[in-house]
Each structure stands twice: as structure tokens, then as C-alpha cells.
Structure 1
Amino acid sequence: MVDSWVIDDGSTTPVPSGAVSAMLRARCDRGRFETWLTSSSGRSLAFVTNTERAMVMLLDGEGDPGEHAVDPGAEGFSNGFVLSDGQHDAYPDRDTVPVDEALRLVEHIVSTGSWPAAARRVVDR
């Protein structure tokens, strides 16, 4: 059975995989550029964006360094990643992906519980 996922903001309503992209875009429109989702098995999925690129991380549980999506050919850095605590981060572009790709990855993970087969990612464990 595939896990259900909720946005980690006190909500208990599962996020449908077909709606997660629209929900993340709506949160960005409201100035919420960092979103964490939690699965019914305790895994965490992070989406942090500057609206052009996004960091996508999947963690198996608390304390797990997890894995994150990468864009190996990308060069440079992007800033403007505003975390929920107000911190402003910059990341190497190789450690982020274009936002449309990030949304596709999140939708697939919420739908299936795993990365797409062709997803480029780095295991940080």
C-alpha cells in the first residue's frame, strides 16, 4: 500500500497526488516557499523553491540525511530560497532542479512513494 501524505502544517487531510503541484504553487503565491510533507509511515518530503528552481529532499525519518534531486550539468548558484523561519538560502544549481521538474518529482513521490526511475538524485546518507 502506498503511503498517504499530508502537508506538515498541522493538517490531517491527505494530499492527492494529482493536486500536490497546484497546492505547492498556491503556497508559493502566498509567500510560502518551503513546504514539508509527511507520509503515513513517517517519511518527510521537502520542497523549497525560489520560484525558478527547487530543492527536493526525501528523508526516511527524523535524523536521516536523506537524498535530494540534482541537476548535474547545472552551473552557478541561485539565491532567493526563503525558509519558513525567514532564513534566506542560496544553493548550487546542481543541487536544485527547475521548478517544473521539482513539481513532477514531488507528484510522483506522493503518488508512488518513490523517485521516478530516471530521476537524478544524490543519496546523502
Structure 2
Amino acid sequence: MAESWSFAGGGAGGGAVAADTVAEALRVRIADGKLESLLESSSGQTLYVVSNTERAMVMLIDHPGDPGEHAADPGAEGWSDGFELSNGQADEYPDTDTVPLDEALRIVRHVLATGRPPADAAWVADR
């Protein structure tokens, strides 16, 4: 059986979300002010995406308790704020630990299609 992904809590219409539709679903969520999204796979992986509408933190967690790994932008300088979590907390991150939104969506699409980040994406293990 192929791995399937869905938004935690049934977001974005509930049910499985396909790799070729996830970018648009995330764009709609972000436009609606839902800057934090959690996708869960049938194999137990979790993909966490939080955006400030321009950049995004993308984390891939293999199992509960795993510190995971995240997308990176090694040449970026500075910090970005406005990463609003669903609990009301507002975070800021170094730009090296986030990626431009279009890159984040490309990464998420690839993870949903293959279960892993694209080989050409900068990636940092937090383990």
C-alpha cells in the first residue's frame, strides 16, 4: 500500500491530500490566516509547516519524540518574524532555518510524493 498524507485534524477538506494538490491547499490555508499546518503520513511521519506568508519553516519528523530535521537556506542572512502558531504564539526564526515560501511548497510536494526531501534541498538534522 502506498503511503498517504492528510492534514492533522481534517484540515483542508479532510481526507488524503495528494502531492500535486498540497501546494494549493497550503496556499489557501495561508491566505485564510492558518499559518501553521501539520501533515501526517500513514507510515507515522509528520510534516510541519509554519509560514509568515513569505518564508516557511518545514520540519520532517519520523516518529513521536524524534527531534526531526528541517529545510534550510544556508546563504540567508537575518531573522524573520510573523510565524503565528495555532495556539497564538508568534515565533521568529533565523532565515537560515527557513526557506522562501515557493521553495517550501516544492519541498512539501516532494516529501508527499517520495517520503523524503528533494536531494537538492538544503536540510539540517536536529537529532
**TM-score normalized by structure 1?**
0.96
Deviations 1:24-56 (Å, cap 9, x if unpaired)? 000011110000000001110011000100000
Counterparts of 2:96 and 2:10, CA distance in 1? 32
Residues 76, 92 of structure 1: 8 Å contact kept:
yes
Q: Aligned ranges for residues 1-125 of structure 1 at < 5 Å?
A: 2-10=2-10, 13-125=15-127
Residues 2, 111 of structure 1: 8 Å contact kept:
no
Gaps of 5+ in 1: none
Gaps of 5+ in 2: none
Residues 57, 69 of structure 1: 8 Å contact kept:
yes
Counterparts of 1:67 and 1:3, CA distance in 2? 20
Ranges of 4+ aligned residues in structure 1 off by more than 6 Å: none
The one-letter amino acid of 1:42's match is G
Shift of 1:3: 1.3
Aligned length: 125
Q: CA RMSD in A?
A: 1.1
The percent of aligned pairs where both chains have the same amino acid is 57
Counterparts of 1:3 and 1:79, CA distance in 2? 34
**TM-score normalized by structure 2?**
0.95
Counterparts of 2:5 and 2:71, CA distance in 1? 19
